[in-house]
């Protein structure tokens, strides 16, 4: 498909060409290459509040928000102040600091059943540590994941892994040996029988890993029956339930999506928001599980930059702002308004569209079906999405360059921003005909 871009895009194009020499594909994460939507990838220069600006001076309302962490908007004054104060004291020490204790307390208080937490540097690192912890605690080796759920790029979980691979039409990853995934079992999201089958056939399952709201095949919500029965059957079988809240943590309530869904994880993995925009991951659980981790127990995991003081400062101030702002009712109302606009614009233009949303996460699917799993998500009209994507970009709304990624809202979105998003949706949907 030929993409004709009307907006000014000269500098981004120059940087993309220049970057090819020393960066892989001129990017540091595959989705940034815009392979699935064509055209030239955008290079960003700055951001403030609800807006982001590219190197050509184009302004966009930001619905990517670094894929979630900028929940209170870009450049919040209190976060900047906290970061600057810490930077003046030091960037990293490779030693313990008081702020690690403060942030740990805030997180454990927000997640029922979490007594202790260990900070790491990314969601991927949190998940791979949780795999090791689950195996150490149970003495078992197999894990179950759901097709379309992305849990980072560690070998054991880089199968049927959702947005990144789906965006590039890659079924798995080269360099992952068969032995690395031989203990990984794949189930279907929202299909409890697919989990029961694995449990019946394998008595060596340490844990089931799940995104409570799947955010890497779009936004896919579990049915009440599925998620509650999943919790029950894992308990009965002595299998740990690992809930990946890297994306959903603090996005729908002050705490986790699992609380809204009426379940409690054995191990919870976090990232994104708890770093306030800096690289942070975390995994936490009740005492008897976390005391398996060194130096208390025999499961080894370490990191020189874990609990980085700058990231801790940003995380604390971000969570304090969330507690003060309490933006969750506002998120629901704004997401509902955007959903109605999407459906109305699609109907007006004779386009099949389904919209899924949960709290501050929303995603339109160009399909006549209700999307409840990865197979249904993959059946969407990605060519129509491409036209719609560029229609929004050209009208000042920045969304992820993939049908399979969630949109995110931030607490500083104004009524004026929402009206501009609606206007852009109406124009873009006409372009998607």
Q: Are 101 and 284 in contact (CB under 8 A)?
A: no
The H or E element that residue 143 is part of is strand 142-146
Nearest to 281 by CA among 83, 128, 92, 73: 128
Residue 347's CB is within 10 A of a number of other CB atoms, namely: 12
Q: Are 312 and 386 in contact (CB under 8 A)?
A: no
Active site residues: 150, 244, 272
Distances (CA, A) of 264 to 13, 112, 222, 230, 256: 47, 7, 15, 11, 10
The H or E element that residue 209 is part of is strand 205-210
Q: By three-state DSSP, how is residue 199 classified? A: helix
Q: Are 34 and 40 in contact (CB under 8 A)?
A: yes
Residue 118's CB is within 10 A of a number of other CB atoms, namely: 23
For the record, the structure tokens of 226 come out as 């599925």
Nearest to 415 by CA among 329, 338, 363, 362: 338
Contacts of 428 (CB under 8 A, 6+ apart): 345, 387, 388, 389, 390, 391, 392, 395, 397
Q: Are 402 and 36 in contact (CB under 8 A)?
A: yes
Q: What is the DSSP letter of 157?
A: G
Q: What is the DSSP letter of 26?
A: G
Strand partners, 299: 293
Alpha helices in 238-327 (DSSP H): 257-261, 287-290, 309-325
Nearest to 268 by CA among 290, 291, 292: 290
**Angle at the Cα of 94 from the Cα atoms of 92 and 97, rounded to 5 degrees:** 75
Sheet of 361-365: strands edge to edge? 354-358, 361-365, 407-408
Distances (CA, A) of 330 to 33, 282, 342, 411: 33, 27, 18, 8
């Amino acid at each position: 498909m030929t993409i004709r871009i009307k907006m000014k895009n000269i500098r981004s194009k120059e940087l993309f060409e220049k970057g090819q020499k020393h960066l892989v594909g001129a990017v540091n994460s595959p989705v940034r290459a815009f392979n699935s939507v064509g055209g030239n990838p955008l290079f960003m220069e700055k951001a403030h509040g609800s807006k982001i600006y590219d190197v050509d001076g184009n302004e966009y309302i930001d619905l990517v928000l670094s894929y979630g962490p900028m929940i209170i908007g870009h450049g919040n004054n209190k976060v900047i102040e906290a970061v600057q104060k810490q930077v003046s004291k030091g960037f990293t020490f490779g030693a313990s600091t008081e702020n690690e204790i403060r942030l740990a307390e805030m997180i454990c208080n927000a997640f029922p059943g979490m007594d202790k937490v260990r900070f790491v540097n990314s969601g991927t690192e949190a998940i791979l540590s949780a795999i090791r912890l689950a195996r150490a605690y149970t003495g078992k080796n197999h894990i179950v994941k759901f097709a379309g759920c992305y849990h980072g790029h560690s070998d054991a979980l880089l199968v049927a892994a959702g947005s990144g691979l789906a965006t590039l039409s890659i079924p798995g990853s080269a360099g992952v040996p068969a032995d690395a995934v031989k203990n990984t079992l794949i189930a279907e999201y929202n299909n409890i029988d697919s989990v029961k089958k694995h449990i019946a056939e394998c008595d060596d399952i340490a844990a089931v890993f799940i995104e409570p709201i799947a955010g890497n095949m779009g936004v896919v919500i579990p049915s009440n029956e599925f998620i509650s029965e999943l919790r029950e059957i894992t308990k009965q079988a002595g299998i740990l339930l690992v809930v990946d809240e890297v994306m959903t943590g603090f996005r729908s309530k002050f705490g986790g999506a699992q609380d809204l869904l009426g379940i409690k994880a054995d191990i919870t993995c976090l990232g994104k928001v708890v770093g306030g925009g800096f690289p942070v991951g975390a995994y936490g659980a009740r005492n008897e599980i976390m005391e398996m981790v060194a130096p208390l127990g025999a499961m080894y995991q370490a990191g020189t930059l874990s609990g980085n003081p700058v990231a801790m400062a940003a995380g604390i101030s971000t969570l304090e702002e969330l507690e003060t702002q309490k933006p969750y009712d506002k998120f629901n109302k704004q997401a509902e308004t955007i959903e109605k606009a999407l459906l109305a614009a699609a109907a007006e233009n004779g386009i099949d569209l389904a919209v899924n949303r949960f709290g501050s996460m929303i995603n339109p699917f160009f399909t006549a079906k209700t999307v409840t799993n990865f197979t249904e998500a993959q059946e969407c009209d990605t060519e129509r999405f491409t036209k719609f994507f560029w229609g929004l970009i050209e009208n000042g709304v920045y969304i992820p360059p993939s049908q399979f990624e969630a949109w995110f809202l931030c607490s500083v979105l104004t009524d004026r921003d929402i009206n501009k998003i609606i206007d852009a949706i109406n124009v873009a949907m006409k372009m998607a005909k």
